Amino acid sequence: MFRRVDLEGFEIEAVGRNVARVSYATSLQKKGVLISTTEHLLSAFIGIGLDNAVVELDNLELPILDGSAKPFVDLVLQAGLKQQRKKRSYLRILREFEVREGDKSIAAYPAAGYSVAYNIDFAPPIGAQSFEIDLSRDLYRKELAAARTFGFLREEQAMRNMGLIRGATEANVIVLTDTGVKNGPLRFADEFVRHKVLDLIGDLALLGRQVLGRIVADRAGHAMHTALVARMLRDRSLWEETTEAGETQSPAQRNGIPAHLAPQA
């Protein structure tokens, strides 16, 4: 739940029905009130096993911080997580389906745990990259959280003219020229595709439940991510709600405790 404290505490639920315009970031809107750039924070929540929170902010956009999810992860874990008595509800994918637009696609498959795979193919110097992460294991903080957003310098002015990327600087965006990375070094050799996976996890959080299934994206983006969410919420035959977690998860994770916070035997 997002709460606009500058608008008398107006609340917007982080669910698919509230998705507003989607371009270079994912925005939510309810009764004309907007919340912009939600994907990094929601991704951090899913990555560390947090699914019940109220997020208060005093303007329409979440802070970009360093362009990744890591600052959100660090701050939440510093504050601490609390296990609740109610069992976690999962959305289990029952059959394969996809959303396609030309040569771009995003698909969902039944699986015991939750994994996300992404293929990208950008102009040089990025090129083709692929990455997959198993979110049923405690890999998010190590392999994904620190991956930063990126953009091409040649597109900067056009985007600013459209009112986009107003908070973007070399401190929070990987800036790409035609010949390479302007403000390196990279945190991962394949940081670009890792950040796309990070974004997708945040957008899938708008399902309102953690997923049991495998999601595969090929040159997709925020619009296709949220189109998949809309398709799933519209067609209840694609999934079932369950409190039984995947077989690859530990008992602590099934009870809603991230592996790094679970009691040790």
This prediction's pTM: 0.89
Q: Which two three-digit tokens encode residue 97?
A: 């389906």
Q: What is the pLDDT along the chain (265 residues), one digit of tens a residue?
A: 999 999 999 999 999 999 997 667 899 999 999 999 999 999 999 999 999 999 999 998 899 999 999 999 999 999 999 999 999 999 999 999 999 999 999 999 999 999 999 999 998 899 999 999 999 888 999 999 999 999 888 776 666 665 656 677 888 899 999 889 999 999 999 999 999 999 999 999 999 999 999 999 999 999 999 999 999 999 999 999 999 876 444 434 444 444 444 433 2
What value, to the nearest 5°, has the Cα angle with vertex 230 and ends 224 and 233?
145
Q: Is 90 helix (H, G, I), strand (E, B) or coil?
A: strand
- Omega before residue 125 within 30° of 0, cis: yes
What was the pLDDT predicted at 245? 79
> Does residue 135 contact residue 46 with C-beta atoms inside 8 Å?
yes
CA–CA dist 134, 155 (Å, integer): 33
CA–CA dist 257, 261 (Å, integer): 6
What was the pLDDT predicted at 48? 95
How many residues does the structure list for the chain? 265
- Omega before residue 258 within 30° of 0, cis: no
What was the pLDDT predicted at 246? 61
Domains of the chain and any CATH numbers: 2-254 (3.30.1700.10)
What value, to the nearest 5°, has the Cα angle with vertex 17 and ends 245 and 73?
55
What was the pLDDT predicted at 154? 75
Catalytic residues: 222
Q: Is 138 helix (H, G, I), strand (E, B) or coil?
A: coil
Beta-carbon contacts of residue 229 (< 8 Å; ≥ 6 apart): 16, 19, 203, 204, 206, 207
What was the pLDDT predicted at 180? 93
Looking up tokens 């609740």 gives: 84
Tell me, what DSSP letter sits at residue 162? T
